[in-house]
């Protein structure tokens, strides 16, 4: 629903002052180094929800990540600003909402020379100006990948590929980008887990309630958990190397996912399966080991906080907040997330979440949730199984709303009572005040941050991606039940 379409009483419910107060306290921290010249390491996992043993999962063991949680602080309310990698990472590296900087469409601006709008820069620029060596670690043997995936052009985003290449005594900022648990290509979408000595027992796992609990779904879910275990191994490599280099006492480690798990209703969507991420921070001598914190944290806050902890002033324009250290800002009351075009699939969804309630607005309610997306159609067995079961009359959209051919304009969920977000309360009379308040907060956020999602993208871009995706997956068509084209 566009702002102009919202009834006047809804828009005016909070009034300018109160609504603005709910979004206030976004100004920068002056930045002041506390303790030694801190190195900053980001360990970034692809496609990871808080499906870890330190977060309570009983289906997978993650001893290295658990170790990091024992030595640092584990955050239970951390959320990404977009549930797909390139807009998410564009926001992470700038401390800005992807919708504010024109980086909101997945893998846009790859060849058109688009650059960040002034005065926005990558945080590596600020670290470099402060004397830091900046690293995208993918040549040191830790298992990281050369993943940037930004929706803007930028030469020399990092200084090097291994922090050992820095000058003697020079502090560094490093990213270790780990591919797992991202999917590979069909038919062996979890083939990289062959490295593991053991496999997750598919008969002993249970997918979330919004997926069928059958053999195909359990096998796919087990493959995801196998990939999480491989991720854990690579996290251990990074922690061991920090220890080997004698850096543990003056290095702050941030571990988090770039968005939620690679499953059909999770990745690319604004339910918690798509935007809730694990976040663990180890700050030796400062954060209490083994502590658990429940304040709301947005992924754009990682940039501002990392700069502040390094003693680097946080730029005035930055939309992220400092959530640690002496420059800590007031806790957020809300976090925000957005989804726009993903590959060839044109969509626009916005969400605001508090600790309890989440409000989602669908700008294309006439379309199904799962519009044609060839990557998901080919690579996600659970989705194909849901389609088969629906066709056979074994499941329905009433049981699994994600199957619906249209969607409501507004969705409201009580995430405490309904963590799987299956019961939409938007039409519930007793929840109208909550609905109105959160809709107004979302309106104000879109206005104040200059949400560029309302600007029409050139249709030729989606057409280009459609051609790309057909070409990318044409070799696997025959592998999917003999169908010439699996999406027909």
Q: What is the 3-state secondary structure (H, E, C) of the chain?
A: CCHHHCCHHHHCCCHHHHHHHHCCCCCCCCCCCCCCCCEEEEEEECCCCCCCHHHCCCCCCCHHHHHHHHHCEEEEEEECCCCCHHHHHHHHCCCCCCCCCCCCCCCCCCCCCCCCCCCCCCHHHHHHHCCCEEEECCCCCCCCCCCCCCCCCCCCCCCECCHHHCCCCCCEEEEEEECCCCCCCCCCCCHHHHHCCCCCCHHHCCCCCCCCCCHHHHHHHHHHHHHHHHHHHHHHHHHHHHHHCCCHHHEEEEEEECCCCCCCCCCCCCCHHHHEEEEEEECCCCCCCCEEECCEEECCHHHHHHHHHCCCCCCCCCCCCCCCCCCCCCCECCEEEEECCECCECCCEEEEECCCEEEEEECCCCCCCCCCCHHHHHHCHHHHHHHHHHHCCCCCCCCCHHHCCCCCCEEEEECCCCCCCCCCCCCCHHHHHHHHHHHHHHHHHHHHCCCHHHCCCCHHHHHHHHHHHHHHHHHHHHHCCCCCCCCC
Q: CA–CA separation, 186 vs 135, rounded Å?
A: 32
Residue 483 confidence (pLDDT): 60
102-111, 186-195, 441-450, 458-467 — which is least confidently predicted?
A: 186-195
Average pLDDT over every residue of 221-237: 96
Tokens of 333: 């009351």
Residue 477 pLDDT > 80? no
Give the pLDDT band of residue 331 (cuts 50, 70, 90): very high
Cα–Cα distance measured from residue 292 to residue 409, given in angstroms and rounded to the nearest whole number: 36
Retrieve residue 135's tokens.
Answer: 């690293």
More confident residue, 4 or 415: 415
Tokens of 117: 């709008």
Q: What pLDDT band is residue 270 in, cutting at 50, 70 and 90?
A: very high
Q: How confident is the model at residue 414 (pLDDT cuts 50, 70, 90)?
A: very high
The more confidently predicted of residues 144 and 11 is 144
Mean pLDDT value across residues 433-462 = 97
Predicted local confidence at residue 197, as pLDDT: 76
CATH class of the domain comprising 37-325: alpha beta
Please work out, in degrees rounded to the nearest 5, the angle formed at the alpha carbon of residue 83 by the alpha carbons of 78 and 85: 105
Contacts of residue 478, Cβ cutoff 8 Å, sequence gap at least 6: 484
What does the pLDDT read at residue 482?
Answer: 58
- List, for residues 10-63, the tens digit of each pLDDT value: 223 333 343 444 454 344 444 555 766 899 999 999 999 999 999 999 999 999
Residue 485, pLDDT above cutoff 80 = no
Mean confidence (pLDDT) of the chain:
91
Catalytic one among 26, 54, 82, 85?
85
Query: Is residue 85 annotated as part of the catalytic site, yes or no?
Result: yes
Higher-confidence residue: 480 or 219?
Answer: 219
List every span in the chain annotated with CATH 3.40.720.10: 37-325
């Amino acid at each position: 629903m566009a702002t102009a379409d919202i009834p006047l009483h809804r828009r005016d419910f909070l009034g300018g002052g109160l609504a603005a107060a709910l979004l206030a306290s976004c100004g920068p921290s002056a930045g002041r180094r506390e303790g030694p010249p801190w190195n900053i390491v980001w360990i970034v996992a692809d496609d990871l929800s808080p499906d870890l043993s330190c977060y309570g999962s009983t289906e997978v063991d993650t001893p290295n990540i658990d170790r990091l949680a024992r030595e640092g602080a584990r955050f239970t309310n951390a959320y990404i600003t977009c549930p797909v990698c390139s807009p998410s990472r564009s926001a992470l590296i700038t401390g800005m909402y992807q919708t504010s900087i024109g980086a909101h469409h997945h893998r846009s601006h790859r060849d058109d020379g688009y650059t960040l709008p002034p005065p926005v820069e990558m945080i590596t620029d600020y670290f470099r100006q402060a004397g830091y060596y900046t690293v995208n670690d993918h040549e040191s043997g830790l298992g990281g990948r050369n993943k940037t995936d930004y929706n803007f052009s930028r030469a020399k985003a990092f200084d090097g590929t291994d922090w050992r290449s820095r000058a003697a005594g020079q502090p560094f900022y490093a990213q270790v980008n780990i591919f797992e648990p991202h999917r590979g290509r069909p038919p062996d979408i979890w083939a990289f887990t062959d490295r593991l000595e053991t496999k997750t027992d598919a008969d002993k796992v249970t997918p979330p309630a919004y997926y069928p609990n059958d053999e195909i779904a359990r096998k796919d879910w087990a493959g995801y958990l196998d990939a999480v275990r491989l991720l854990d191994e690579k996290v251990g490599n990074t922690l061991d190397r920090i220890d080997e280099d004698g850096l543990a006492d003056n290095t702050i480690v941030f571990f988090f996912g770039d968005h939620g798990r690679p499953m059909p209703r999770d990745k690319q969507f604004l339910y918690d399966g798509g935007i809730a991420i694990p976040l663990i921070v180890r700050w030796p001598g400062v954060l209490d080991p083994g502590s658990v914190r429940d304040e709301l944290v947005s992924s754009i806050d990682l940039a501002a906080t990392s700069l502040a902890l390094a003693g680097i002033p946080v730029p005035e324009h930055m939309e992220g907040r400092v959530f640690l250290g002496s420059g800590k800002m007031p806790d957020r009351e809300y976090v925000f997330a957005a989804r726009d075009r993903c590959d060839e699939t044109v969509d626009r969804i916005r969400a605001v979440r508090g600790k309890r309630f989440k409000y989602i607005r669908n700008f294309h309610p006439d379309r199904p949730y799962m519009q044609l997306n060839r990557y998901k159609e080919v690579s996600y067995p659970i989705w194909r199984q849901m389609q088969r079961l629906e066709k056979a009359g074994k499941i329905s959209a009433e049981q699994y709303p994600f199957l619906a051919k249209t969607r409501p304009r507004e969705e409201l969920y009580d995430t405490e009572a309904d963590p799987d977000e299956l019961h939409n309360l938007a039409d519930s009379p007793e929840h109208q005040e909550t609905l109105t308040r959160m809709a107004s907060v979302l309106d104000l956020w879109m206005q104040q941050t200059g949400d560029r999602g309302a600007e029409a993208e050139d249709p030729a871009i989606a057409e280009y991606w459609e051609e790309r995706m057909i070409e990318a997956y044409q070799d696997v068509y025959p592998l999917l039940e003999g169908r010439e084209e699996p999406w027909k």
